[in-house]
Amino acid sequence: MATTPEPGKVIPWRRWAFASLGSVLSNFGSLWFLLAPLLAAYAPRRLFKTYFDLFLRRYARRLLAVVDPYVTVDVSEPGGAASAHYSRYGRVTEHDSAYEEVKAYLSDTCAGEARELRAEGAPEGDGVVISMRDGQDVADEFGGATVWWTSVVRENSQGQQRPHTRQCQRLTFHQRDRRLVVDEYLPHVRRKGREILFSNRRRRLYTNNKSGESFRYDYKAWSYIDFDHPTTFDTLAMDVAKKREIIDDLNAFRSNREFYRRAGKPWKRGYLLYGPPGTGKSTMIAAMANYLDYDIYDVELTVVKDNNDLRRLLIETTSKSIIVIEDIDCSLDLTGDRATQRRRRHDRDNSNTRDENSRRDGSMVTLSGLLNFIDGLWSACGGERIIVFTTNHVERLDEALIRRGRMDMHIVMSYCGFDAFRTLAKNYLGIDDHALFSAVDEILGRESITPADVAECLMTAKRAGSDEPSRLLEIVVDELKQRVEANAKVKAEAEAKAEAEEEAEAAEMDRDDRRGEQNGRKSPKI
């Protein structure tokens, strides 16, 4: 049976609810008094922005494209410290090089068009990189489209420069050229910029460090010095036709990147230089490096522990380089007679002598490992490499090592001919032609004289102190005749020594045979 409250009495929970409601309304009134102005100022903008993002942005962008059809792309310099990690070869630093490549590309254009410039020292070498000061711009054309580059400084949202300002190269172009700029022009700028940076650097001559020290935390596979060899193909003493053939081959290699890719071949080429000592094999390598503007990696195989370390050396080399193994017939046992090699290794394993050959056996590099180094899968990494072998005795090398496809071009570095002498005479004495050249030609055609010997004869004439060409060449002719006599004497002595050694070896074999016969007669018959 329901009960009804007495008049004048209020149930307790209702009294509590009314009291709480009054307190809430009182507090809300105070809060609304504070928030109302903010909501009045903020809500319309927020609502309009939401409505704009959902419905009007697409149409606004179309309208903006009609009014201002130009697009901008900013290429900023790397901010902060470059990221770094560590490998077994030391600290490896990584950073975006796009900004430096763009600056290098624009350097020539800026120097010719911009009025206010900034000069900075090149990261390597003695060159200067010219760039635009802030606010300057230059125009460039590519594929029928005109683009503009502007130098700007990045600013924060308040319009003030940051404490550490970052330079920026801003590219502006018409939106109809978007695909051309993104797909072709920007890669073209970076590629050309890399070429400019590469040509301005100091070229280096590398040599590999001993593999046994690779456990050290600061170990590096290669150490280097700046390469500043003065030899060029113009000063190289060599037959003119052969020199031109080599230059044409180098040009074809350097400019045929797409051909190698289309043919499915790694972008590399091998050269075998062979001939007597003093015929200019090392000088040829210097001339090739100067002509191509490549670095040189001189590999010393005797300090390479095994095939894995040889592969690591290859990975650490860069593109646009010449990898050289000089006197490869003396570095390791890589001769063609493999059966003889096995016998020699077996004999050395059974002996305790510590001669030079035993010391060389500290390296476990094999012919198979060297072949993979030349044209295996790992040889294709990086691209644009030249591999050069030199030897004084090509007949000692394994045919698999020097076959076409590995050593693509075999270059005979022969004795000095008349063309080579003319080059040397120009280099040393400044004489292009003379009547006494015929006497020199007769001597060189009859005798085998190396370019190194001829150069020494020219140095002797140079030290005489005379400026008269006839007197200088008379000295050269006399020196050549003396050198021919000295070479003949040395050759006769070498032949006599070889003949004596053969006779001694034959006599030793006869003694061994007689000793064997005597032992056979003394042994009892069963």
pLDDT tens for residues 295-314? 999 999 888 888 888 888 88
Calculate mean pLDDT across residues 347-371: 60
Q: What percent of the chain has pLDDT over 90?
A: 26
Provide the pLDDT for residue 179: 92
Between 49 and 268, the more confident residue is 268
Angle, alpha carbons 285-289-291 (nearest 5°) = 115
Judged by DSSP in three states, 118 sits in strand
In this predicted structure, the answer to whether residue 1 has a pLDDT above a threshold of 50 is no
Rounded Cα–Cα distance for residues 302 and 363 (Å): 6
Instruction: Please give the structure tokens belonging to residue 195.
Output: 């070429």
Q: Are 301 and 323 in contact (CB under 8 A)?
A: no
pLDDT at 38: 57
Per the CB < 8 A criterion, the answer to whether 75 and 100 are in contact is no
- Of the listed ranges 21-25, 176-180, 442-446, 475-479, the one predicted with least confidence: 21-25
Q: Cα 402 vs. chain centroid, distance in angstroms?
A: 24
Contact 461, 476 (CB under 8 A): yes
Confidence of residue 87 (pLDDT cuts 50, 70, 90): very low
- In this predicted structure, what is the pLDDT of residue 29? 56
- Measured CA angle at 440 (ends 439, 443), to 5 deg: 90
Cβ-based burial of 398 (10 A; exposed 0-12, middle 13-18, buried ≥19): middle
Instruction: Report residue 500 as tokens.
Output: 């004596």
pTM, rounded to two decimals: 0.70
- Give the CA distances from residue 236 to residues 195, 407, 417, in Å, rounded to whole numbers and listed in that order: 27, 22, 12
Mean per-residue pLDDT for 239-248? 94
For the cut 50, the answer to whether the pLDDT of residue 260 exceeds it is yes
Domain 204-412 has CATH 3.40.50.300: yes
Q: What is the mean pLDDT of residues 326-345?
A: 60
Which parts of 293-417 fold into alpha helices (H)? 307-316, 328-331, 338-349, 356-360, 367-375, 399-402
DSSP letter at 320 equals S
Q: Which is nearest to 312 in space by CA: 204, 163, 209, 466? A: 209
| Strand arrangement, sheet containing 222-226 | 222-226, 204-208, 295-298, 321-325, 385-391, 268-274, 409-412
pLDDT digits (tens, 9 = 90+) for 372-407: 888 877 777 777 899 999 999 888 888 888 888 889
| H or E stretch covering 42 | helix 12-51
- pLDDT class of 369 with cuts at 50, 70, 90: confident
Of 30 and 190, the one with more pLDDT: 190
Joined together, the tokens standing for residue 290 give: 């100067």
- Asked if residues 151 and 136 have their Cβ atoms less than 8 Å apart, the reply is yes
Out of 284-293, 325-334, 433-442, which region has the weakest mean confidence (pLDDT)?
Answer: 325-334
* pLDDT, tens only, 449-476: 999 999 999 999 998 888 888 999 999 9
Predicted confidence at residue 360, as pLDDT, reads 46
Pairing of strands 409-412, 295-298: unpaired
Rounded Cα distance, 232 and 283, in Å = 9
Instruction: Assess contact for 476 and 438: CB atoms under 8 A.
Output: no
Q: Does the pLDDT at position 2 exceed 60?
A: no
Long-range contacts made by residues 242-250, C-beta under 8 angstroms, separation at least 24?
Answer: 242/411, 246/288, 246/409, 246/411, 247/291, 249/409, 250/288, 250/291, 250/292
Average pLDDT over residues 89-116: 68
Residue 491's pLDDT is: 81
Mean pLDDT calculated for residue range 147-170: 68
| pLDDT of 341 over the 70 cut | no
DSSP for 270-281, please give it.
EEEEE-STTSSH
Enter the DSSP assignment of 376: S
pLDDT > 80? residue 323: yes
pLDDT averaged over the chain? 77
Confidence band of 59 (pLDDT split at 50, 70, 90): low
Residue 46: which pLDDT band, with cuts at 50, 70 and 90?
Answer: low
5-9, 62-66, 317-321, 350-354 — which one is most confidently predicted on average?
A: 317-321
User: What does the block give as tokens for 466?
Assistant: 């005379």
Give the least confident one: 79-88, 275-284, 392-401, 462-471. Answer: 79-88
Q: Is the pLDDT of residue 268 over 80?
A: yes
And the tokens for 320? Answer: 């646009």
Q: Is residue 345 pLDDT above 60, yes or no? A: no
Q: Which residue has better confidence, 28 or 176?
A: 176
Give ranges for CATH 3.40.50.300 in the chain.
204-412
pLDDT digits (tens, 9 = 90+) for 110-124: 666 666 677 776 666
